[in-house]
Amino acid sequence: MSDLKRAYNFNPGPGALPLEVLQQAQSELLDFKGTGMSVMEISHRSKEFEAVIQTAEADLRELLGIPSNYKIMFLQGGATLQFAMLAMNLRPAGASADYIVTGAWSKIALKEAQKLGTARAAANTEADGFNCIPAKLDLDPKAAYLHFTANETIHGVEFFSEPTPLDGVPLVCDTSSDFISRPVDISKYAFVYAGAQKNAGPSGVTVVIARDDMLERTPANLPVMLDYKTLAASGSLHNTPPSFAIYMVGLVFQWAKRQGGLAAIEKVNRVKAGLVYDAIDQSGGFYRGHAKPEARSLMNIPFRLPSEELEETFAKEAKKNNLIGLKGHRSVGGMRASVYNAVTVEGAQSLVDFMKEFQKKNG
Ligand SMILES: *Cc1c(COP(=O)(O)O)cnc(C)c1O
């Protein structure tokens, strides 16, 4: 392994995984816990896999402090399926739901909910280029729920405190790209979901955390794979689950615990994001961040250079320096550094060193 060359991986998703986790998966790949089989080859009803999924759940409960009146599910279809599925389950027929639109992902979530019924924007920051958290919300007191996207992966804006719904309106959150990046008070939420591949594992599994009363909303006529009540009651084992992805997510939860938990992880994430934002702020306008300072994401940092030509060159030269995945999303343009949990301080520092060097040569 001494000649192993790992990239400094700033991909937005699938994103970087901790090296230790990959090494553990590699060491267990051919013979999982003495079974003589890979975890991919064993029954999802075996006692070995039961331990995998139960440990993953228990570790997540511990990491996030999830109370016992919440169920945890490991589902397929990505966060994108949740956009539709949560509307089908949590919004009674004829009712409306509220969405806070702060970027590309919440915009899609609202659109999906509108295909199936009534949903409205309680705020929409598109006119500002999705660079901020809305100061004011226009809330419907009868809304079935209030949905928000904790971190907008493309626009790089993040909520650092939850929006406050009106009394009796459950708070629903897409936390795909800042899941387990810092502590949150789950008791403020009724329903939380996250595709794993940004911060918690490989693609193929979506973690859903649902308060028990939310499961009572599931209508009787839903196809079973869209029915939270049944899926939760079966412990995510109604049919064959994405077993390898669940195993990997479980290893990431264990890794997160070894780092000292989410408070310790947040500290490191603040150091990493701080390095990059400081480099932007100290560049005299050569680098320009997208989000307003108070809304700046700790996970995804989109920024522009003086010209598209320089941005092309930046991406190319960064790649030569082993800094991968920095091209921004086409809708925002420019660059984007995703500094998820598994990106090291050393990785962020390498990026900052490169940014300074690049500006010296091209500024
Ligand atoms: C990536 C992402 C999604 C979509 O996730 P899929 O798993 O690809 O469906 C939804 N919301 C946010 C915030 C994301 O970052």
The CATH number given to whatever domain includes residue 228 is: 3.40.640.10
- The CATH number assigned to the domain holding 320 equals 3.90.1150.10
Active site residue 140: no
pLDDT in tens, 2-20: 678 899 999 999 999 999 9
| φ and ψ of 230, to 5 deg | -70, -45
Tell whether 90 is covered by a domain: yes
Q: pTM here? A: 0.97
Q: Are residues 172 and 310 in the same domain?
A: no
For strand 157-158 and strand 118-124, is the pairing parallel, antiparallel, or unpaired? Answer: unpaired
Q: Which is the closest atom of ligand 1 to the Cα of 195? A: 7
CA distances from 99 to 78, 169, 264 (A): 19, 12, 31
List CB contacts of 330: < 8 A, sequence separation 6 or more: none
Calculate how far, in angstroms, residue 12's C-alpha sits from the geometric centre of ligand 1: 10
Q: Which is the closest atom of ligand 1 to the Cα of 196? A: 7
pLDDT in tens, 26-70: 999 999 999 999 999 999 999 999 999 999 999 999 999 999 999
Tell the residue nearest (CA) to atom 14 of ligand 1. Answer: 176
State the Cα–Cα distance between residues 33 and 51, nearest whole angstrom: 11
Active site residue 356: no
Q: Which amino acid is at 235?
A: G
Tell whether 186 is covered by a domain: yes
Q: Which residues does a 6 A CB cutoff place in the pocket of ligand 1? A: 13, 78-80, 105, 149, 153, 174, 176-177, 195, 198
* Helices and strands in the chain: count of H runs, count of E runs: 10, 14
Closest by Cα among 111, 143, 112, 141 to 124: 111
pLDDT in tens, 217-228: 999 999 999 999
Tell the residue nearest (CA) to atom 10 of ligand 1. Answer: 79
Per-residue pLDDT, averaged over 284-310, amounts to 97
Q: Where are the beta strands (DSSP E) in 6-90?
A: 8-9, 70-75
Range of the domain at 346: 260-362
Q: Are residues 268 and 134 in the same domain?
A: no
Tell whether 337 is covered by a domain: yes
Active site residue 174: yes
User: What's the sign of the alpha-carbon dihedral 164, 111, 245, 73?
Assistant: positive
Q: How many domains does the chain have?
A: 2
Per-residue pLDDT, averaged over 72-94, amounts to 98
Residue 1 has pLDDT above 60, yes or no: no
